[in-house]
Copies of this chain bind each other. A is one copy, B any other.
């Protein structure tokens, strides 16, 4: 059994980790920490888990965490990097669902997150947890940086086009939409049902922290620096990311069979599903599942390719992908605990 510790279990990513890990045949949850809720039974905060988990939240306990095989951080940024060096030194492996180790350039991190990085020496070692691109290095990772929710969808959507050099790299557009759970379980007026229900808006248009992470990943795929216009939006729903990606096809792109390209690229991926031509994904089809569904289109047979991508921001965009990486890191079946279909309707 894999002995698991979770730091920061009171948010939506935390409860989703619990839901999925409880279904995992080879995991033993040893502790789950929360300063604010220490001592409170987990199932008291999340009644959906009543009868499924006996643990209470505990105060952060470095020793107990260090004794785990793997520690998940489901915390805001700037928390994991305070503990990771010691945990690694003690022999635990770390899966960080926050932003602390996603960006390889410490200066860029500081520019977007507004504070100096506390362990830049680990940035080179951290493995970016997108299995569809980094599967082999993930297996050996001590420190895994889980991709953000938007970055997962955008990178999976653009990857085959960029790897094959079929679109212009300087005019990429990602128009992305998220459910409100992406904003976390925080007391903010902006995310009240009365504020966001029956409404739709863009936000962070002038610059969202996922932009440098996405550009870093896309640039690696393209083997050259890319330029992306990334506009996130908020939709009145709980879960789900929908990304609509636009790329200007070059001559090779106009000549290519894009549908075949994507079907081939993802033929052996357990969690990326290319829809048949003419079908388009909807977020509800992956609600609660670790699946990313996507579709290709070249409207009017002109020169712009449109890729539509959906995922559940809490699963393939967070907790599910983290478990997929854990499975790889510990030699388990990659789909263990995350194979079930989503909830529809």
Contacts and interface: CB of A to CB of B under 8 A. Distances in A.
Contact of A300 (B193, B207, B275): B207
A23 interface: yes
B246 A199 contact: no
A161 to B, nearest CB: 15
Given A229-B246, A231-B244, A306-B231, A48 B194 contact: no
Question: Most B CB atoms within 10 A — which of A47, A237, A342?
Answer: A47
Nearest to A191: B192
A278 interface: yes
A138 to B, nearest CB: 22
Contacts of A12: 194, 345
B238 A194 contact: yes
B49 A341 contact: yes
A246 B299 CA distance: 16
A295 B205 CA distance: 10
Contacts of A302: 227, 229
Interface in A214-247: 227, 229-231, 233, 235-240, 242, 244, 246
A321 interface: no
B345 A194 contact: yes
A224 to B, nearest CB: 16
Given A48-B284, A187-B189, A237-B236, A19 B344 contact: yes
Give the number of times this chain occurs in the complex, counting copies.
4
A46 B317 CA distance: 22
Nearest to A241: B200
Contact of A175 (B52, B188, B244, B283): B244
Interface residues of A, number: 88
Interface stretch (A93-101, A127-135, A177-185, A322-330): A177-185
Contacts of A197: 180, 193, 197-198, 236-238
B299 A205 contact: yes
A284 B19 contact: no
Nearest to A172: B304
Contacts of A50: 273, 275, 285, 291, 293
A126 interface: no
A55 interface: no
Contacts of A15: 344-345
A113 interface: no
Contacts of A202: 242, 244, 280, 308
A114 interface: no
Nearest to A279: B47
B233 A242 contact: yes
A124 interface: no
14 contacts: A47-B285, A51-B273, A175-B246, A177-B200, A177-B235, A180-B192, A188-B192, A192-B192, A193-B196, A195-B284, A199-B283, A205-B280, A239-B345, A288-B343
